[in-house]
Each structure stands twice: as structure tokens, then as C-alpha cells.
Amino acid sequence: MGQNQNNCRKIIFALSFIVAIIRAGSVLLVVARQKGGNFMSKQLVNLRNRLSRDRNRITYFLDFIDEQGKRQRLSLGHSNKRLAEKQRAEKEHELLRGVVTPESMKLSKFMEDSLTKTGKQIRQSSKIEYERAMNHFIDAVGNIDYQFVTHRHGEHFLQYALDKGWSKATVKKRLREISRFFQVAVLRGQLDENPLRNVKAPKAPKKNIRIYSLDECRRMLKTATEYKGQDGLNWALLITLALTTGMRKSEILNVVWDDIDFEKMTIDVQAKKETEYTWQWDVKDSDYRTLPLTEQVTQVLADLQTNYPACHPYVLIPPARYDRIQHLRRQGKWDTVSARLKIVNNFTRQFSEILKLAAVKHGTFHDLRRTALSNLIAEGISEYHVMKIAGHAKFSTTHEFYLEVTGDVLSQTRKAVEKGLVQNLAHIWHAPHSEEVSVKNKAS
């Protein structure tokens, strides 16, 4: 009996020893896998520190070997030792469990990866804005791993931007663009939550909307008919279209003759494809909309088309400037951003000269659009239909429910334009450039 008990004890002891050996071996195998066979360190993740760029404080980072055997160094972006140790323990726990975490990326790489995945879902000009915002964020908080960005980094960026003298409106816009990167990362499964979601942007004061008075519009148009600007741009027609349609500057400059239906007296605002004669251009916030033209404006456009070179598809771009743009396209020096911002050289300066000559105090070309839309509301067009005519950004949220602008709305809008502005301005604007072209043709 005693012999049997001794044998049982020996067996139990042996089994316990074997279990201990197996457990120890498992840990060593994990360490070997994580450390590539190097058993010198007992920790899978080491906490280290280094001086920040300004050399005024230390910054912690994690040093470890990932599951592919590659050494990784993740900057934590702060100098809080207690928090750093907690993050080290969490990372080590993940490695021990064999949890595969999202790919480690610095903010600069994270930005590049995000924009690449987004592709053509947003305009090129928007990509540039997002990239500029993220680069400002990196300047403020450092090029840390995107997974370690916290609410505190967002607040630090706000203070950084305000100290730089940015307006509150600009700070708010940049923060929204930066936050969008992290929100998209959440949707793609790269993050559990947006670290900047609760960062409160400063309240920007509401700007007064600049509306040109009827008298200012008269003086502006009268001056534009006599203005001889750069590249021979027809400023009178440009201003007239802005006041009577509410179109944006880039929308007007990218109008081609095929966009105009002279019989129905309408103009289509639609994207342009990259062809031999036209360049790619995307409409802001909406895919397509049809706007009414007054009878007088339609006649001016018809007269202009009669005397315009057949090989030049754009309505407002002077032939010489069109030829120059085509030359830039062939050299690969023209893109979608150029199609929005560089069609006319010194556009703002020229418009400012017209305002000065017309004795109109301050204002922008975009204020013509605001004036036009305000006139529609004043003449009784509903805000809903004004938003459709304008193609405002708010319609992007209801794009799938987009409704065609009906003939009744076009007719009502046309009457409102004629009643509010055109009847007071029709005797001033005309197409002086078409007359000049006609004279040249006769001379030749």
C-alpha cells in the first residue's frame, strides 16, 4: 500500500514537472517567434524614450519584433510614463495572444494610404486640401503612429493653429478635414473609434453676406463693357451670366457650346470629360443641373457663337487663351485643379480692377452668385428650389433622391430673374467682344 502511494506521488510529481516544462516551452516558443530566436530580453515589448525635436521633453516609444519578424518602433507621442507603460503592456498582451493588429503607419504614410484608397471618390482639389490639413497636423503633433493619436493631440493642434494666427473659420475647416481621415479609418476597420470625434472646434463668427445693390450692378456692368483686360476675356458676359444664373466662376468658365439649348433657353452645368478638345472638369457637390437663361442673354450668346471659331468649344475662354491651355495640356502641365483655378490668369486682380473703376467698395466675384440667389428668394422662389438651382453642398446628402428641375420651376425662375435684375440691366450689358470679332472678320 505504501509503495503504491509513493509511486502515485512520483507519477503526480513527474506529470506536474512535464506540464511546467510544456508551459515554459510554449512561452519560449512565443518569445522565439516574436524575437526571431533572441532570448536576451524577457519582455516582448520594450519601452524606450528619446528627446523630442525641440529637446525640451522626452517622448516614449515601443520597441518590439512583430509576427513577421520585423523590428517595429511605434512612437507614443507623449511623455507620460504611466500611460506609456500601460500601452506597452497592452501591446505585449496582444503579441502574446497572437492578435493581428492593423498595420503600423506613421501619419504621413497613413495619409498617403487613405487618399490612395479613396481614389477618385473626391475631386483632386479636395485631395490637396485634405493633404494640406494633415501635413499641418503632423507639424503640430509630430509624425507619430496614427493608432496612437488621442483627443489630446486634437486639442494640441487647435492651440497650434490659433497660435499661428489662423482664423477660427480656417481652424474649424482644417480640423474637420483631419478628423475625416480618422473617421474613414474607422469605416475601413483600421480604428475602433475616431480619436478626434469630441474635439470642439472654436466657434467662428458668422460672416456678413455681401450682396451687390442694383446700382452697384449697373456700374459694374457698364465698366465691364469698356474694360480691356488680360487675354481678351468678355467680362460683361461673364458678370451677366453670374448675375442671371447664380453659377460659380469655374462653372461659367467651363461652359461649352453644347451645354446651351438655344431653343429651350437653358444652360446645363455638367462635368466635362478629357477629350482632344476639352479637359476633365468636375462639378462641385452635384452631378448635373439645368438652369434657365433669359431671352436677352440667350440672344447675346447666339450672336457670340455666330462669330466664334468653330474649333473652340468653350464659350467664355478667349481663343488665344484656349490655344495656350491646349499647349499646356500637350506638355502634361494641365490637370483638374488647373481646370478649376487657372483657366484665366489674374482673374481676381482683373475683377478687383473692375470694381475699383466702377466705384464699388470691396467684394468678390462669388458675391455675384450670392446676389443672384438672394434676388431669387426676394422674388418669391422657394428656398428648396433656389438650393436646387444653386447646386448647394447640402444637396450632396440627398443626392440619391435628386429630382429633375421641372419646366415650371425653370419658367418661374426665368421670370424672377427678368423681373428682379434683367429689366434694370438689359440696356447695359451686351457682347462687345462678338462685335469686335465680327469687325475683324469683315476686315479679313
Q: What is the pLDDT of residue 6?
A: 60
pLDDT digits (tens, 9 = 90+) for 261-275: 999 999 999 988 889
Average pLDDT over every residue of 163-187: 92
For 263, the 3-state DSSP assignment is: coil
Average pLDDT over every residue of 3-26: 54
Pick the residue with more confidence: 133 or 428? 133
pLDDT band at 97 (very low <50, low <70, confident <90, very high): low
Distances from the Cα of 144 to the Cαs of 109, 130, 153, in angstroms? 10, 18, 10
For 269, the 3-state DSSP assignment is: strand
CA–CA gap between residue 318 and residue 253 (Å, rounded): 10
pLDDT band at 26 (very low <50, low <70, confident <90, very high): very low
Average pLDDT over every residue of 356-361: 93
Whether residue 424 has pLDDT greater than 80:
no
Whether residue 130 has pLDDT greater than 70:
yes
| Of the candidate ranges 38-42, 60-64, 139-143, 221-225, the one whose mean pLDDT is the lowest | 38-42
Average pLDDT over every residue of 333-352: 84
Residue ranges of the domains in the chain? 19-97, 107-187, 214-443
Angle between helices 366-378 and 407-417 (to 10 degrees): 100
Q: What is the pLDDT of residue 393?
A: 61
The mean of the pLDDT values for the chain is 79
pLDDT band at 343 (very low <50, low <70, confident <90, very high): confident
Contacts 24+ apart (CB under 8 A), 215-221: 216/358, 216/360, 216/363, 217/243, 217/371, 217/421, 217/424, 217/425, 218/424, 218/425, 218/428, 219/358, 219/359, 219/360, 220/354, 220/355, 220/358, 220/360, 221/425, 221/428, 221/429
Average pLDDT over every residue of 72-89: 87
pLDDT band at 426 (very low <50, low <70, confident <90, very high): low
Contact at 8 Å (CB) between 130 and 180? yes
pLDDT band at 156 (very low <50, low <70, confident <90, very high): very high
107-187: which CATH architecture? Orthogonal Bundle (1.10)
Which of the given ranges, 4-8, 277-281, 404-408, has the highest pLDDT on average?
A: 277-281
pLDDT band at 215 (very low <50, low <70, confident <90, very high): very high
Average pLDDT over every residue of 367-395: 78
Q: What is the pLDDT of residue 12?
A: 56
* CATH, domain range 214-443: 1.10.443.10
Whether residue 394 has pLDDT greater than 70:
no
| Of the candidate ranges 38-52, 76-90, 190-204, 345-359, the one whose mean pLDDT is the lowest | 38-52
pLDDT band at 158 (very low <50, low <70, confident <90, very high): very high
